[in-house]
Each structure stands twice: as structure tokens, then as C-alpha cells.
Amino acid sequence: GVDKVGGLVGANGSDLREPGTITNSYSTGSVTRDSGSEQTNFGGFCGLNYGGTIENSYSTGSVYYGCDDSDSDCGEDNDPTDKGFVGATVGEPVHIANFFDSEASNQDSGTGATAKSTSDMQEISTFEGADWTIDKVEADENDYPYLAWQDGESGTWRQKQVPDQQSPNASF
């Protein structure tokens, strides 16, 4: 993209509209700035948060600036490391209990969210500790959270987790 590109939304609000609210959402797509663009409103989840609210959301996609060493428009910012969640903000945005996968995204930091490793993102305790409404689904391996409606279930979030291992001598 050229400007205001995010894994879920390019811009949350604008100077012409009321700020939006994004709650209980996630993105997995990668974001790439077109070669020649000088804009920096690119983020793993939202390109530009224009005074809006983003809550209980996460992203795993990478952010690249689509540059190579021969591209004179790129300058020193060939690939950013601080665009893990929101690329830029205007006004007074509100960010509550958001996360991004720092390993999968190739980003060290990001406005509006906490960086977590892939293994932390696949642990339900990460999200329970942030007061997300999330249910455990027993599985053969841990995975990222997903929305309950994707399983045809009620509730908000679900996350596949390996069952806790009990000692053979455990008594209840």
C-alpha cells in the first residue's frame, strides 16, 4: 500500500469522521509499503488510529517497507521494527489489552499493544491476565486465540491448549 495500511484496518477514524471503536478482533495478514511511498502509517493491525479505541485485539502479521538497497526513496528505514500494532496515531487514541507477536511480525515494539513471543501468544494465560473473556479448548497443540463464533459457539474468544498434565498419582 501507499498510506494508512494495517493488517485489519488502514485507518480507525479520520479528521472527517468520528473515531471508531474496534473490539475483540485480530489480524494475521502481512503489511507491505509500496516502494516509493514515504508515508509511515503502516502497522500490523491498524495503519493510523485517529483518536479511536482498540481493545482486546491482537495481530501476528509482519510489516515491511518493500525496499531494497537500490531504492533511493527508502532512506534508512528499510524495514521498521516499531510497527507491530498501530503504525501512527493522531489525537488521543485509547488502546486497552492488545498484543502482537513480536517473532512472527518481525517487530520489536508497537504503539497500542504489548509485544509477546509466539509461545506467549499461544498461551491462554497471556490473555486471561489481561481480563479477556476466553475459553480453553483442549487440543494436541497450543494455538493463537480465535473468535468463538468461528466454532459456532457463544462467548467471545476461544484458544486451543494442550491439557494440563497430571501426575499419575494425583488425587482429587
pLDDT in tens, 94-138: 999 999 999 999 899 999 999 999 999 999 999 999 999 999 999
Give pLDDT, residue 171: 45
Of residues 9 and 172, more confidently modeled: 9
Residue 89: in which H helix or E strand, if any?
Answer: strand 86-90
* 78 Cβ contact partners less than 8 Å away, ≥ 6 residues apart: 65, 67, 68, 69
| pTM confidence score | 0.86
Q: pLDDT tens across 137-157, in order?
A: 999 999 999 999 999 999 999
pLDDT given for residue 88 in this prediction: 92
Q: Measured between alpha carbons, how far is residue 110 from residues 41, 85, 98, 155, 170 in Å? A: 12, 5, 10, 28, 43
Per-residue confidence at 33, pLDDT binned at 50, 70, 90?
confident
Higher model confidence: residue 76 or residue 13? 13
Spatial distance between the Cα atoms of 148 and 13, rounded to a whole number of angstroms: 27
Q: Give whole-number Cα distances, 90 to 27, 37, 111, in Å.
A: 22, 20, 12
pLDDT greater at residue 168 or residue 106: 106
Question: How much is the average pLDDT of 30-40?
Answer: 78
Q: What's residue 41's pLDDT?
A: 84
Closest by alpha carbon to 50, among 98, 83, 12? 12
Q: Are 124 and 140 in contact (CB under 8 A)?
A: no
Per residue in 66-92, pLDDT tens?
765 555 445 455 678 889 999 999 999
For position 90, what pLDDT does the model report? 92
SS3 sequence of 10-67: EEECECCECCCEEECCEECCCEECCCCCCCCCEECCEEEEECCEEECCEECCCEECCC
Q: What is the pLDDT of residue 63?
A: 87
C-alpha cell at 52: 479511536
Output helix, strand, coil percentages for the chain, rounded to the nearest 5.
10, 35, 55
pLDDT of residue 67: 66
**Residue predicted with more confidence, 108 or 41:** 108
